[in-house]
Amino acid sequence: MSDLRELYQEVILDHSRNPRNFGRLENASHKARGHNPLCGDDITIYIEMEGDVVRNISFEGSGCAISTSSASLMSEILKGKTLKEVRSLFESFHEMVTGDPSQKAEVAPEMGKLAVMAGVREFPIRVKCATLSWHALMTALGESGEKVSTE
């Protein structure tokens, strides 16, 4: 288990030092900003939708290792996903990081690398860091989101 934990920490460190899909997305059809005052994380998510498929996604901003790596991992896994799949992943992710800390997280196979975030449930103060980009994503895609017109 400790080896696994080290591997998880390596992935998190890697993504926080070299975040994937970092930067503004010029063709974004949706965007939203998430702010976590508890930690100072401030992340803006950009999404380019094609129909109900995530064609491209990126993020920018600054934050701690957990919020940055979570946004980076999220951006990697969501490319090519349908809205329905995005919602399902959001729910699974939320459940994984907010579940009972005394229970081991059950991680669905479709979560892929997002599984590295499972340990966050043991650190309640970090949950907001891990879920920040996801909440911004859902705001961007959802009814309450700020929609950026490209027309």
Provide the binding-site residues for Zn ion, judged by CB under 5 A: 39, 41, 64, 67, 129
Nearest CB to Zn ion, comparing residues 37 and 109: 37
SS3 readout for 37-94: CCCCEEEEEEEEEECCEEEEEEEEEECCHHHHHHHHHHHHHHCCCEHHHHHHHHHHHH
Cβ at position 63, least distance to Zn ion in Å:
5
Q: Which is nearer to Zn ion, 56 or 134 (CB)?
A: 134
Backbone φ, ψ for residue 18 (5° rounding): -125, 70
Q: For residue 11, give the nearest of 120, 103, 102, 106 by alpha carbon.
A: 120
Given its phi and psi angles, is residue 52 left (phi above 0), alpha (psi -120 to 50 degrees) or beta? alpha
Half-sphere exposure of 67 (CA within 13 A, CB side): 27
The least CB distance from residue 27 to Zn ion, in Å, is 29
How near is the Cβ of 90 to Zn ion at its closest, in Å? 19
Residue whose CB is less far from Zn ion, 41 or 60: 41
Q: Which CB, 30 or 126, lies closer to Zn ion? A: 126
Q: What letter represents residue 126's amino acid?
A: R
- The nearest distance, CB 96 to Zn ion, in angstroms, is 17
Which pair of structure tokens corresponds to residue 132?
Answer: 């920040």
- Least distance to Zn ion, CB of residue 40, Å: 7
Q: Decide whether 28 or 45 has the Cβ nearer to Zn ion.
A: 45
